[in-house]
A and B are shown apart, each in its own frame.
Chain A
Amino acid sequence: MIDATLFKRKHQLWLRIAFLSFSLSDPWVKNRLYEFSQIEFRHLKWLAQSLYENHSAYDYERDPKFNIESESFFTLVHTTINEIKTLHLLYGATPLCERMRHDEDYILSTLNAYLEKLSLDEPLKAFDRSRHWPDALLSAAEIDALTLFLFEELYKEYELIMVYFYRQIRAATPSQVSHFQDLIDESHFHLRSFGEMMAKMGILSLPRTLHPRTYEITDMGRFLRSGILEEENAKEECRKLSSSITDEKLSSFFEFINFQESYHIEIMKKLLKEM
């Protein structure tokens, strides 16, 4: 049955698989899992559309005990398998449920295959809180600045994805849908980038849950104007970090992100003009 409980479980499954991908170092498994997480996010979008069309309420709450952290990849794979199997008990006989079940049967077979490769079960460093950046020698002040930035921005990107997602479901024109999709895609890239950096430093953790006041927006104009302000703040944070970090590679990465934020502002201005 398509209801708020199913939406909540799917929301958690998207996060579960995305953060599992961030936590790994094996590039092939990492990329495969990230693709699966994107499939789960599309499922989530179709679910939200269905719920909205049927005037059924849903929210972005998560179970208080929902946790993505473990020292063992296999433990997380077992948890993911169990969650998918539990989810399947909630599916009905609709085409959407059939599609989701079919996708997840394949995901299950892939996850089970991972469990047979014992070499994959190396201890995960993503959650060890070591706060060590392995790719360059950073000062304690740089590590502190990077840690704060990543915690702040990982939450912000998650928040942006979910706010744009909420507005996209309620968009009035195809052009609005397209603009929101661009913003969502960009924030997915930022979420992944920051999540992977946090995993490298051993500080990967879930962003906190979103209160409905954050995403239940009725005044689109005001939302976009404050969104532009938010992007400008994000640009400023990136600029500050980029100038405070001496490592050239890291600094140029944050410059790159900073420039992307500039274009988000342009997309939001386009959305404002259309209103």
Chain B
Amino acid sequence: MHPHNYGPLENPTGVGVGHSEQSGEFVIFYLGTKDDILEKVGYATNGCHDTVVLGSMFTEMIKGESLEYSKNAVEKLREKVALGPVKQQACAQMVLTAFEAAQIHEQKKAAGSAEELYAIEIGMECEVE
């Protein structure tokens, strides 16, 4: 398996985590934004392969695109996985939550915050069937 954009970025502009306290699963998302363009994106997870595949797809969708474009990409991915199994919706939720957390972190950092990352807990688990 060779997921795209897998692994941390050097000097990211934002780092976000979507995690489930109950299962210990997480997705960590890295942003490298310049002039509102997502020049670099990266992610890592200890979740299942659906999460890895969705992370790979989503990062490919938004890499090199504007933040505005990424909002549409988030909605597109949500619409797409809503048609699939609940498990995939939970995996997508984990990826998208981490992306949202990374954007919040980026904004907080720009406002002077010294936090290393921003984390959001999610209620859904990727093990659900």
Q: How many residues of B contact A (CB 8 A)?
A: 18
Does the CB pair B26–A209 fall under 8 Å?
Answer: no
Given the complex, which residues of B lie within 8 Å of A214, measured CB to CB? Answer: 46
Does the CB pair B127–A208 fall under 8 Å?
Answer: no
Chain A interface size band reads 10 to 19
Given the complex, which residues of A lie within 8 Å of B45, measured CB to CB? Answer: 211
When each residue 45-65 of chain A gets 1 if its CB lies under 8 Å from chain B and 0 otherwise, what string results?
000000000000000000010
Does the CB pair A205–B48 fall under 8 Å?
Answer: no
Give the residues from 207 to 240 in chain A that come closer than 8 angstroms, CB to CB, to chain B.
Answer: 208-211, 213-214, 222, 226, 229-230, 233
Does the CB pair B1–A229 fall under 8 Å?
Answer: no
Does the CB pair B49–A211 fall under 8 Å?
Answer: no
Does the CB pair A211–B23 fall under 8 Å?
Answer: no
B52 at the interface (CB under 8 A from A): yes
- Nearest-CB residue, chain B, relative to A226: B24
Docked Cα-Cα span, A155 to B46, in Å, equals 9
- Nearest-CB residue, chain A, relative to B24: A226
- Nearest-CB residue, chain B, relative to A209: B7
Residue ranges of A at the interface with B (Cβ–Cβ < 8 Å): 64, 148, 151-152, 155, 159, 205, 208-211, 213-214, 222, 226, 229-230, 233
Listed A/B pairs (6) with beta-carbon separation below 8 Å: A151-B1, A152-B49, A159-B46, A208-B44, A210-B46, A213-B17
